[in-house]
Chain A
Amino acid sequence: MAGSFKDIDYRVRPAKSIERKMLAESFRRLVYFQNPAKYTYVGMGSLYFSDFNLFHRSLGFETMVSIEDCFDPTIQDRFRMNVPYGHIRLEFGRAGAVLQKMADWKQCPAIIWLDYDGKLSEECLHDLEYVASNAASGTVLIISVNADRLKLIDSIGDDGNEIDEASLTPLQILERNIDKSRVPLGVQNKELSGWGVAAAYREVIDAAIRKGTTLHPSGNFGYEQTYNFTYSDGARMLTVGGVLFSENEREHFVSAAFDNMEFVRRDKTDYRIDPPKLTYAEMRAINLHRPDLPIPPSDVEKFKKTYRYFPHFIEAEVG
Chain B
Amino acid sequence: MSVPTINASPTKEFFISIITKDISLLDAIKDLMDNCVDGARSLRGDGRYQGLFAHIEVKPDSFIIVDNCGGISVDTAINYAFRFGRARGAPSVEGSIGQFGVGMKRALFKMGKKFEVKSVAADSRFVLKVDVDEWTALMDENGREKWEFEFTEVAESENNPIDIRSTTLEVTDLYPSVAAEFGTAFFVQQLVASLQHAHAHSLNLGLDIKVNNFELRHNVATLLQSDKIKSIKLEKTYPQEDDGIRSIVKLTIYAGLSDSNLKEAGWYIICNGRQVLGADKTPLTGWESKLEENQSTPAAHGQFSRFRGYAVFESDNAKALPWNTSKSGVDAESKLYQAARMEMVNALRQVIDFLNELDAERDSESTVLKECINEALPVPLSSVAVSARFIAPSRAATTIQRPTNVRVQFTQALDDVEFAKNYFEVTSATKAGEAVFDYFLDREREN
Q: Which residues of A contact B (CB under 8 A)?
A: 71, 73-74, 76-77, 92-94, 96-97, 99-103, 122-123, 126, 129-130, 133, 154, 156, 158, 160, 214-215, 217, 219
Contacts and interface: CB of A to CB of B under 8 A. Distances in A.
Nearest to A215: B339
B389 interface: yes
A266 B25 CA distance: 58
A217 B342 contact: no
Interface in B221-247: 234, 236-239, 241
Given A73-B395, A160-B294, 20 more contacts: A71-B356, A73-B396, A73-B399, A93-B349, A93-B350, A94-B353, A97-B350, A100-B346, A100-B388, A101-B350, A122-B288, A123-B290, A130-B342, A133-B342, A154-B290, A215-B338, A217-B238, A217-B239, A217-B339, A219-B241
A122 B288 CA distance: 11
Interface string B180-198: 0000000000000000000
Of A74, A97, A158, which is in contact with the most chain B CB atoms at under 10 Å from its CB? A97
29 contacts: A71-B353, A71-B356, A71-B357, A71-B394, A71-B395, A73-B394, A73-B395, A73-B398, A74-B399, A94-B349, A96-B342, A96-B345, A97-B350, A99-B346, A100-B234, A100-B346, A100-B388, A101-B350, A103-B388, A123-B290, A126-B342, A129-B342, A133-B339, A154-B290, A158-B289, A214-B335, A215-B335, A217-B238, A219-B241
Contact of B396 (A76, A96, A103, A160): A76
B296 interface: yes
B69 interface: no
Interface of B: 234, 236-239, 241, 288-290, 294, 296, 335, 338-339, 342-343, 345-347, 349-350, 353, 356-357, 360, 388-390, 394-396, 398-399
Nearest to A216: B339
B326 to A, nearest CB: 25
A97 B289 CA distance: 17
Contact of A154 (B294, B347, B395, B398): B294
| Secondary structure type dominating chain A contacts | helix
A129 B339 CA distance: 9
Contacts of A77: 396
Contacts of A76: 396
B290 A160 contact: no
Contacts of A73: 394-396, 398-399
Of B241, B353, B357, B390, which is in contact with the most chain A CB atoms at under 10 Å from its CB? B353
- Minimum-distance CB pairs A-B, first 6: A73-B396, A100-B346, A215-B339, A97-B349, A101-B389, A97-B350
Given A94-B353, A126-B342, A217 B237 contact: yes
Contacts of A101: 350, 388-390
B353 A93 contact: yes
Nearest to A69: B353
Given A93-B350, A100-B388, A217-B237, A126 B296 contact: no
Nearest to B342: A130
B294 A96 contact: no
